[in-house]
A and B are shown apart, each in its own frame.
Chain A
Amino acid sequence: MANIRRKDFCDQSVNFLIAAIPVIGFVLFGLIPMGISLLVSFTSVKQSFITEKIVLIGFKNYGRLFQDRLFWKSFGNTLLYTLNVPFSLGFGLIVAYLVNSASKGQKFFRFVFFIPYVCSTAAIALSWKIMYNYEYGIFNAVLNDLDLKAVGWITNPNVFMFSTMLMTIWASSGICIILYQAALANINPSYLEAAQIDGAGEITVFFRIVFPAISPTTFYLLTMKLIGSLQVMAETQMLSGDSTSLNWADSTVVNYLYRMGFIDPIYYGQSIASAAGWILSIIIILITWLNFRLGKKWVNYDMA
């Protein structure tokens, strides 16, 4: 009896270990760095906690961040950039609706519209950088042909974030279109038929049937895009090329963190960067929590 028990215990621990491998990985490369960053954010570490003496300075880093004009500017830029999310979703939904109504060539359109997703952000941003170029970019060439003034798409600090948003809407259209199209194709046709028999107009059908039916997809995309947009860095960094003439108009919070920790560690350092990371992630967690709370009101999982 004891033998069987022991065997059972061994068996269960093997099962536990198999299941726990990803968790171990998370502890090693997620939890430990998190602990380090929390600790470092209360110290005055500049470059590395190994070589430097660790001096606890309390909440000074956070206080310094709240007084830093550049941090607030980066924060504002990030929030501005996050406004691309509704536009990305809207564009994706409209195109998905078009693709879904197309009887011929649906596969072709699905194929082409998803291409931006498999391309790296770096390559996409470089190709948009070529298009946005002041002298030989395509946008300014077209504007010039139309007798309009050239726009400094990525050189004008006031325009830069909007150019980045435009690029992001284009780049994230792929996933939005594919997911929305799958969701639209999944809508039970009997709902639509019933609505048509009852004489509902197109707008009523959209708000009463289509929108609730695709709300899980909207929620998924919204959550993903919000988290991703708040942590944006690749797009802005690639487009601006760290140009100093932009006067921090290209800086997002993660970009700020990167500059503080890796580019200019002498003055600011990793401790400030860690503090900024914690502030941002607390905001992200709050927004995600809020999103889930509000999601319960409008997301409908019963219509599939």
Chain B
Amino acid sequence: MKKLFAFRYVSLHLFATLFCLAMIFSALPYQNETAHSVYVSIAVASGLLLACLWGGGTIVRSKGLKKGRRADDFSSVVAKKIVLYYWLMIVLFIVVLPFYVMLVVSLEDSKSASIISFRWWPGKLHFENFITVLTDKALRITVWEALFNTLWVSTWPSLVCVFISSLSAYSFSKLKFKGKNALFAVLIMTMMVPGCVTLSASYMWFDRLGWLHTFMPLIVPSLFGGASVVFFLREYYSGIPDDLLGSAKIDGLGKFGIFFVIILPLSVPAFVAQLVLTFVSRFNDYMGPLIYCDRSYLYTLTKMLNILRSGNEDITYIAGTCVVSILPLLILYACLQKVILSGISMSSGLKA
């Protein structure tokens, strides 16, 4: 009886998937009547089956089995596991699919890919697309130069950004000065300003400063630190006990000494997490390069992809460029996943 219930549990989920798929397919416009009627009948049949299984099982259970103990026996635990991993596999498939498609298309033959429809596996692997991507100068700039540009506007500016922010956060949380609360309120307000309002005005302002078509608009604003980083690090620093700083002061450390000797080493995880997150967001910045860097020698990777959006180029070339452009961050993420994941959870105010 218990095995039967476990079986019912698994098949309920399987039929639910079938039912959903069949419903979607029968709702879509069809090429011929037979296919449509097949989907409709599958939907009806699986729907009926679903109702019978669910309703019947519930009736039997309410008569026979006791409610409290059903989770304990072996077969129901196995059934729960099967269902859980079944759904996880489906989600895994959905998450991986675009990356898989990107990879497969980039390995297709560049001549035939745009003629034939999608194949789950290319007949023959064509790695020469990647050679084309890596050496091609169709956009008057190679991927390498674009990668270098991207790294130039994202590595050291984000390092400076997080460093300045941590200094500011240190001052906000541990040092005394007048007007602290007012200044902090202003800082919080800066996070509220939507970016869209300054979009065209920033363009004109940078034009006035003579910074258009240089990297200055991407680099200089981040050299002043970021409000959200300050906000986060301030929370983190307030967890460092004041007694520790007091004893360091007695031992003769100045306020910068305390910062470098005590605060920074104690907050390495938070610092690195914020650094990586800032770096990722600067690396993937879309609007900045799009508006301010409209010269081919200034193209970053996102700007390059932006140029490819019209879809006039060869599709294998586009897919190859996508693969190449996401690889650096994928490698970084694979190496630093713990830092990134805990940093993300921390910055939303959760304990990781």
Seen from chain A, the residues whose Cβ lies within 8 Å of a Cβ on chain B are 12-13, 15-16, 18-26, 28-30, 32-37, 40, 48-50, 95, 98-99, 101-102, 105, 109-131, 133, 135-138, 140-141, 143-144, 146-149, 151, 170, 173, 175, 178-179, 182-183, 186, 199, 216-217, 220-221, 227, 230-231, 233-234, 237-239, 241-242, 253-254, 257-258, 261-262, 270, 273-274, 277-278, 280-281, 284-285, 288, 304
Contact = CB atoms under 8 A, between A and B. Distances in A.
A24 B116 CA distance: 56
Given A26-B190, A29-B221, A115 B333 contact: yes
B contact patch SS: helix
Interface stretch (B26-34, B48-56, B130-138, B260-268): B26-34
Interface in B138-193: 164-165, 167-168, 170-172, 175-180, 183, 186-187, 190, 192-193
B101 interface: yes
Interface in B69-125: 84-85, 87-88, 91-92, 94-99, 101-102, 105, 113-118
A15 B256 CA distance: 10
B250 interface: no
Contacts, number: 322
Contacts of B95: 112-113, 115-116, 170, 173
B309 A120 contact: no
Q: Which 6 A-B pairs rank lowest in CB-CB distance, beginning with the nearest?
A: A25-B224, A37-B201, A147-B35, A120-B284, A19-B171, A122-B305
Given A28-B221, A113-B92, A148-B29, 4 more contacts: A120-B325, A130-B319, A170-B95, A261-B199
Q: How large is the interface on B (under 10, 10 to 19, 20 to 34, 35 or more residues)?
A: 35 or more
A277 B309 contact: no
Given A148-B25, A186-B350, A118 B280 contact: yes
Nearest to B164: A21
Contacts of A216: 349-350
Interface string B219-248: 011011111001000000000000000000
A182 B322 CA distance: 30
